[in-house]
Amino acid sequence: MFFEKIKTYSLYMILSVFLVSNTLLVGHEFLFKKIIIILLLFIVIITCFYKKDSFKKIIYYFVYFDNDKVVKKISGVISLLAWFFFVSSLFLLNIGFVFLARWFILAFIICVVISGVLTFYDLERGGNVVLSKMRLVFVSGASVLYFITSAYAASYFLQMSNMDISDSPLLEFGWKFAFFAIYFFMILQPVSYGIFLSVSTKLKGHQLMTILGVLMLTSLLLFAIPRWAESFIVVVLDWTTNSEWHTSAMCGSLSISDSTERYFGFNTDKYTVYFSNRDGKWGFEEINCIKDDKNQDSLKRVSVSQSNMPKWFKE
């Protein structure tokens, strides 16, 4: 009886071992690690070949071949692809293909988002009351969050640059959106967990795996956002200042320009300077224009704030 159950569920057991092993071994290095991981993959492939019926059941779990709902079929296929990309990314990380693993993680994120949207749409169209109520709460909560983060972002920018962010419209939009996105994705994890607890008992087929994928994605974002927040902010500052600020500053007969700097102001007595990757630093300065009657104009720099460039810019 015991051995019959092992034989029946052997594929599921081996797939579970493969997934758990790859998850636990990420970031750990030891002798024969790659050989063990590749051997596990070989065992999975062989088992899938001999347990075709069990493998087909997994495919049928995600893809509704006997269902005429196109949305469900598409969502199921994309959900299956999402989990394939996720497991493959862990495998690639463990055997040392980091660059390719990052692209697979990105593919996993895209697939989860698309499948999640289609699944929520299908559930709501099917009359799921919980999701209908949550949509209203979600939209209202997002609006309140944007209002709060916008005020905090404007205040923080004033401290960092000694400049009113409303003077630079594109920068204001990018900066406030960055702060909203950071806090939104951090809060999204407990929200998605609440949705999972509320609707999990009513989910069928791939819908449960899709919601689990969404929960896993939001958990990854909760872990990654605090580490990537500064990098994201610097990217936004680089893009907005490159698009909106000047590449040079003038003071009477003087003119300065630096490829790592952007200047807010034109032919004025004071410039706000944003610098990025200048000697490994990013931050803000003020330049005061001191004009002389004898045409001996000069510029005085005053540091407002500076920080080390985020790590991913150094890799």
Specify the 3-state DSSP secondary structure of 44: helix
Helix, strand, coil abundance in the chain, percent, nearest 5: 70, 15, 20
Alpha-carbon gap, residue 17 to 11, rounded angstroms: 10
DSSP letter for 264, please: E
Q: What is the greatest pairwise CA distance in the chain?
A: 102
Mean pLDDT, 10 residues at a time, over the chain (315 residues)? 60 75 76 82 80 73 60 75 85 84 86 82 69 74 90 93 92 93 85 75 72 81 82 92 91 84 89 92 91 73 90 55
Helix axes 70-94, 52-62, angle to 10 degrees: 120
What is the reported pLDDT for 223?
80
What is the reported pLDDT for 315?
45
Q: Which token pair is 58?
A: 């997994």
Cβ atoms of residues 246 and 262 within 8 Å: yes
Cβ atoms of residues 158 and 166 within 8 Å: no
Nearest Cα residue to 112 out of 219, 229, 223: 219
Cβ atoms of residues 34 and 41 within 8 Å: no
